[in-house]
Amino acid sequence: MNARVPVIMALLLSCPPLSAAAQNPTFSSKVEAIRVDVLVTERGKPVLGLGPGDFEIFDNGVGQQVDLVSFDRQPLNVILTLDMSDSVIGERLANLRVAGRGVLDGLKTGDRAALVTFSHAVSLGADLTVDLARVRIALEQTRPSGYTSVVDASFAGMMIGESDAGRALVIVFSDGLDTSSWLAPEAVLEIAKRSDAVVYAVSAGADQDGGFLRDLGEQTGGRLFEIESTSKLSAIFVQVLEEFRRRYVLSYSPTGVSADGWHQLTVRVKGRNATVKARRGYLAGK
């Protein structure tokens, strides 16, 4: 058995609700309603004030009835998933901590946050909580060391984000290549198909490898920011949080489609030349 397996298992076992989430994926044949987190923009700016009648959803090409559209009404589960390998030192570490504090400062009453850090191992600095002071303390206590396991950490971030009710936003930061993950990127991308979590990632530095993080962002309806240095990291983190708050949550009950397998989703806004960003689809069934 790989030496990192106990580390990953320990992280999962430290959050009891995660085991239930893993055994009962968000999208299954037992779920009547499908939830889709959607960003609508025109000329790069979010479009607000839309209702159910403004959207079209196609599930495997079959038109669906949008039952509910909510906007900034559900509490957020924000998972800071931060690279703490030995290259994150000095100014880079200071900028990362400032960026993390900026996200925590932007949360509202009822929102929850958690801190996952990773090097060659994945660590739970603070589990999902409304006690943001505890997350701040954990952020200040982080110490860089070791290699980089961004794939393992991304999986952990998604699982923690879905361990309690609320909209899950996973913010992943890494400054280099994944050199030590146990989980395969393809396996985590498959897991993302069953997750409601939206992943926004930031990849920094000359040795960045955004392939996995780009795919993860596109799969979940988020995005990847690629930057040369961490000097603008705080602004990007705040932008991510503000953009996430301006996303719509659409709900519909699938009709005319199979209860199993991969379902491709297409979301449109009627009568507008708007850009719509949403997850690519979902896996139904066991």
- Is 173 found in the same domain as 146? yes
| Mean pLDDT, residues 229-254 taken together | 94
Are the C-beta atoms of 171 and 80 separated by less than 8 Å? yes
In the chain, the amino acid numbered 230 is T
Running DSSP on this structure, what letter comes out for residue 182? Answer: S
Q: How many domains does the chain have?
A: 2
**Does residue 99 lie in a domain region?**
yes
Quick one: what percent of the chain has pLDDT higher than 90?
Answer: 74
Average pLDDT over residues 274-286: 89
- How many whole angstroms separate alpha carbon 8 and alpha carbon 21? 16
- Of 11-15, 171-175, 182-186, 215-219, the one with minimum mean pLDDT is 11-15
Examine residue 190 and state whether it is found in any structural domain, yes or no.
yes
> What does the pLDDT average to over 230-241?
96
143 is a domain residue: yes
Q: Tell me if 174 is assigned to some domain.
A: yes
Residue 2 within a domain: no
The arithmetic mean of pLDDT across residues 40-64, rounded, is 94
> pLDDT tens digits for 81-106?
999 999 999 999 999 999 999 999 99
> Are both 79 and 126 inside the same structural domain?
yes
Whether residue 136 sits in one domain with residue 45: no
User: CATH number, domain at 118?
Assistant: 3.40.50.410
**How far apart, in Å, are the Cα atoms of 20 and each of 15, 16, 23, 122, 160?**
10, 8, 5, 20, 11
Residue 30 has pLDDT above 60, yes or no: no
Tens digits of residue pLDDT in 149-163: 999 999 999 999 998
Q: What was the pLDDT predicted at 186?
A: 95
Instruction: Indicate whether 92 and 215 sit together in one domain.
Output: yes
pLDDT of residue 238: 96
User: Widest CA span of the chain, in angstroms?
Assistant: 56
Q: In which band, very low, low, confident or very high, does the pLDDT at 12 lie, cut at 50, 70 and 90?
A: very low
Residue 27 lies in a domain: no
More confident residue, 152 or 24: 152
The b/e string for 119-158 (b: 16+ C-beta within 10 A; e otherwise) is bbbbbbbbbbeeebebbbebbeebebeebbbbbbbbbbbb
Note whether 141 and 107 are same-domain residues: yes
pTM: 0.87
Q: Is the pLDDT of residue 27 over 60?
A: no
Q: What's the mean per-residue pLDDT of the chain?
A: 87
Nearest to 170 by CA among 76, 87, 236, 75: 76
Same domain, 158 and 265: no
pLDDT band at 14 (very low <50, low <70, confident <90, very high): very low
Per-residue CA distances from 81 to 109, 143, 155, 159, 249 (Å): 21, 14, 10, 12, 23
Identify whether residues 125 and 222 lie together within a single domain: yes
Residue 92 lies in a domain: yes
Q: Are 200 and 261 contained in the same domain? A: no
Residue 165's pLDDT is what? 83
Query: What angle do the packed helices 185-192 and 211-220 form, to 10 degrees?
Result: 10
Question: Which of 212, 223, 92 minimizes the C-alpha distance to 152?
Answer: 212
3-state secondary structure at position 40: strand
Residue whose pair of structure tokens reads 């449109």 in the numeric block:
268
Q: Tell whether 54 and 178 lie within a shared domain.
A: no
Q: Is residue 89 part of a domain?
A: yes
- The percent of the chain in helix, strand and coil, each rounded to the nearest 5, is 30, 30, 40
What local confidence, expressed as pLDDT, does residue 207 receive?
56
Torsion of CA 244, 87, 177, 124, to 10 degrees: -50
Residues 50 and 68 in one domain: yes
Instruction: Check whether residue 58 and residue 143 sit in a common domain.
Output: no
pLDDT value of residue 109: 95
Residues 195 and 221 in one domain: yes
Q: Do 104 and 138 meet the contact criterion of CB atoms below 8 Å apart?
A: no
- Domain that residue 170 falls in: 75-245
Task: Say whether pLDDT at 221 is over 70.
Answer: yes
